[in-house]
Structure 1
Amino acid sequence: MNTVFTIGIFLCFFLQFLLLSKKQASISDRILGVWMFFIGLHLFSYYLYYLGYWDRYPHLSGIHHPFPLLHGPFLYLYVLFSLKSDQRLRWRDYLHFSPALLFYVYMIPFLFFYSAEEKLMVNHGEVDDYAGFIVFSLFAFFASGLGYAIASYRMLSRHEHLTSQNFAYSESIDMGWLKYFIWGIGMIFLVTAVVILFEWSMGVNFGFNTDLVLYVPLVGFILFLGYSGIRQKNIFADGTSQIPQIVEPKLPGEYVRSGLKTELAQQYHQKLLDYMSANKPYLEPKLSLGHLARELDISANHLSQIINQYEEKNFFDFVNTYRVNEFKQRVADPANSSYSILAIALDSGFNSKSSFNQVFKKVSGKTPSQHISGA
């Protein structure tokens, strides 16, 4: 068990260093780096408790008690600034950490004015000075973690919907990995809550330190989160100073009030189809709705409406259908027989092998190999 904690603590501080020293680190990178630092402190302080140092040095006890209230806000802010074009922290963003600060304020008498003997008595449950506070803290920890996890998950779901309406690629802007992280952490908190409920309310003795149900799996998730966070880029970090226009998709009934007349919409639709056939903009791997709208001299909102109404697809599926058809034409040409499937896919506008395979199967119902073999 000592090895698990040592690895976890080392990973936290090492990943923090990598994130904060990352070239052109974004606000989300810095948030994740600071979060890693606090997770490291949390693990280290609990490890001291696990080793029995609180009994030897009672003044160490309670220092990390409010730390669980930090993790939800860090998760939420990391997701928020991974998806925002405005990369500035404002004062209201810091308010998410006020509950943890209030906990420390409430604990001032214990932290600074209790003697070592009094702290030991509180830790061993021999006095009830903070018994109610401990119970309230547990509810607050789980409420904070669950609430921020739900808010972050909803934000990610909205992000997925927005990107499918505005971008024809998913590489570097896909945050699906973070959904898996949230689900994993949620399961850990749920299991921990059930264990504590049985232990405290029903007096069940599990025969092991139940705190480890939370802390041991956390080490694995630290590695997953840190590694993925280092690779992740802000969706607006495209190497240019220009921020792409993001269009909020509307429900079908809302287009009635858009102001775009049917006759003009049909003209725009035909203009779009003619441009896609003649100029093949889909060969640009990082094509966006805003970029295509500028080329067509149509507003991005109107272009989004046309694709959704007349093609009955989102922008991602609309463009990638053209890429799949381009691949089919190229792979059938004997002149391309010496090229690999991946090379032809990249020439057809796809960004990677994984996205190509996924999109091709979605559009055609077959894998690329099955299509080529005629299966």
Structure 2
Amino acid sequence: MQFLVLLNFAAAIQGLFLTYIIAHNRLKDTKSVVLGLLTFVLSLSLLGGIYGMSGFYKSFPHFTNVADPMFLLYGPLLFIYIFVLTQNRLPRNYVLHGLPFLIYIISFIPLYLKSAEEKIEWAEYIFLNDHVPLKGLLMQLLRVVHISIYIVLSLVAVKNYQTKIKDNFSDIEKISLNQAKNILYFFLFALVVACISFVFGYVLSYSFSLSNNIIGLVIGIIIFALAYSTWNKKNIQEMVASKGGDKTEKPIEAPQKTKGRSVFVLTEEQLEEYGGRLETAIEEEKVYTENELSLAELSKKINIQAYQLSELISRLYNESFFDFINRHRIEEIKARIEDPESDSYSLLGIAMDSGFNSKSSFNTAFKKFTGLTPSEYRKQKLVEQHA
């Protein structure tokens, strides 16, 4: 038991230290502020479990149930962090996400006003009970549902942002949301552990406090994951800006007509004219061989607005900008592989010369558009040539 308390205490101290570092050095943007609040809340909630199992509630009874409401801030802060990470702004009416937390605190005001002896009695009923009571189990499962809703919303935000960057960049190897998704998966894992822990506590009769500290171990892992994500990678928005994402022109007013649920700004004449410019840039100039080609850069090359180019590709080819450019890169690579003069070149060398920035992005795209790995495709063509 005490070993479990020590592990959680170490994780809580780590979280508080991370909060201090963020507050001292990194409070330059909203993302860092929200991340600091999230690590602070996680750390305080860990201390709440330690408070019960270690017996400190007897020495400091007036801290009883102070950390418990923090669970209702996990989901909102996690969602706001992911939202800011992807949208570079706070969600609308973000303060309203704290209402369950506020209501929970108000409902426990009678407890907070009790005497020290009454608080100790209440805490011992909760912490020393030899099993998780049914009421406690239901309350914890409701918390799991509450956090799960926010995790789903966060995953949707990540998915939407991945679609957005594919509409603007031809290479997104460095603009990865894997970290954000991994943190969300850690939270999902914590929820699964929480459900198992409380159900087992109810069925097998072990204390509520022990269940909290078992969950605390997983929360500790989340704190370390947050620390890693904070210091190991650049801000996604900074990566987008470095690749020219914030240079994209804002749409100007244009004649609109609708088809189904889509809103089009290009007339048929513009579609034909701009389509010809795009075809020239692709077929004759081979602009797709530029490694970090973006929607904004290509739109400048053919002298149209970025939003017009996005619509042009969508209507003519039914593809995102990312897929449109990479499909042409793959076609270029296939042509070079089939050329006997390229036999002495490595596949990676051909890929880099055709516009790809890394082996992983090249392999992924090639498999997507051909159904084969690059080496399998080359072997297949060699067999056909010698047949």
TM range (shorter): 0.7 to 0.9
How far residue 228 of structure 1 moved from its aligned partner, in angstroms, is 2.9
- Stretch moving more, 98-107 or 359-368: 98-107
2:306 paired residue among 300, 319, 325: 300
CA contact (8 A) 2:168 2:245 kept: no
Q: Distance in 2 between matches of 1:120 and 1:2?
A: 20
How far residue 38 of structure 1 moved from its aligned partner, in angstroms, is 2.1
1:216-244, Cα deviation, whole Å (9 max, x unpaired)? 22222332333234415233652479453
Q: How many residues align?
A: 362
Alignment partner, residue 36 of structure 2:
33
Amino acid at match of 1:210: S
Counterparts of 1:222-233 in structure 2 under 5 Å?
222-230=223-231, 231-233=233-235
CA contact (8 A) 1:164 1:315 kept: yes
How far residue 140 of structure 1 moved from its aligned partner, in angstroms, is 5.2
- Stretch moving more, 151-160 or 321-330: 321-330
Alignment partner, residue 216 of structure 1:
217
Counterparts of 1:1-375 in structure 2 under 5 Å?
1-2=4-5, 4-16=7-19, 19=22, 26-85=29-88, 87=89, 89=90, 92-111=93-112, 113-125=113-125, 138=140, 141-193=143-195, 195-197=197-199, 199-200=201-202, 203-205=203-205, 209-230=210-231, 231-235=233-237, 237=239, 238-239=241-242, 242-244=246-248, 253-255=260-262, 258-328=264-334, 337=344, 341-374=347-380
Q: Distance in 2 between matches of 1:226 and 1:199?
A: 31
- Residues 264 and 228 of structure 1: is their aligned pair in 2 closer, same or farther, counting only changes over 3 Å? same
Q: Distance in 2 between matches of 1:224 and 1:118?
A: 39
| TM-score (normalised: structure 1) | 0.80
- Residues 243 and 115 of structure 1: is their aligned pair in 2 closer, same or farther, counting only changes over 3 Å? farther
Q: Distance in 1 between matches of 2:156 and 2:302?
A: 33
How far residue 2 of structure 1 moved from its aligned partner, in angstroms, is 4.4
Alignment partner, residue 130 of structure 2:
none
CA contact (8 A) 2:57 2:64 kept: yes
How far residue 358 of structure 1 moved from its aligned partner, in angstroms, is 1.4
Q: Alignment partner of 2:85: what SS?
A: helix
How far residue 261 of structure 1 moved from its aligned partner, in angstroms, is 3.3
Q: Distance in 2 between matches of 1:242 and 1:155?
A: 19
CA contact (8 A) 2:52 2:123 kept: no
Alignment partner, residue 255 of structure 2:
none
Q: Alignment partner of 2:45: what SS?
A: helix
Amino acid at match of 1:226: A
Unaligned runs of 5+ residues in structure 1 are none
1:142-198, Cα deviation, whole Å (9 max, x unpaired)? 343122112212222222222222222223432244334324423432442354356
Q: Distance in 1 between matches of 2:107 and 2:194?
A: 25
Q: Distance in 2 between matches of 1:178 and 1:252?
A: 36
Q: Distance in 1 between matches of 2:265 and 2:313?
A: 16
CA contact (8 A) 1:282 1:323 kept: yes
How far residue 63 of structure 1 moved from its aligned partner, in angstroms, is 1.6
How far residue 318 of structure 1 moved from its aligned partner, in angstroms, is 0.8
Q: Alignment partner of 2:167: what SS?
A: helix
Unaligned runs of 5+ residues in structure 2 are 127-132, 252-257, 382-387
CA contact (8 A) 1:31 1:78 kept: yes
Amino acid at match of 1:171: E
Q: Distance in 2 between matches of 1:61 and 1:190?
A: 26
CA contact (8 A) 2:76 2:98 kept: yes
Amino acid at match of 1:27: T
1:329-350, Cα deviation, whole Å (9 max, x unpaired)? 5666858947x65455344322
Q: Alignment partner of 1:55: what SS?
A: helix
Q: Distance in 1 between matches of 2:347 and 2:44?
A: 49
CA contact (8 A) 2:141 2:195 kept: no
- Residues 84 and 317 of structure 1: is their aligned pair in 2 closer, same or farther, counting only changes over 3 Å? same
Amino acid at match of 1:317: D
CA contact (8 A) 1:260 1:302 kept: yes
Q: Distance in 1 between matches of 2:227 and 2:362?
A: 27
Q: Alignment partner of 1:211: what SS?
A: helix
Q: Distance in 2 between matches of 1:206 and 1:323?
A: 60
Q: Alignment partner of 1:279: what SS?
A: coil
How far residue 137 of structure 1 moved from its aligned partner, in angstroms, is 5.4
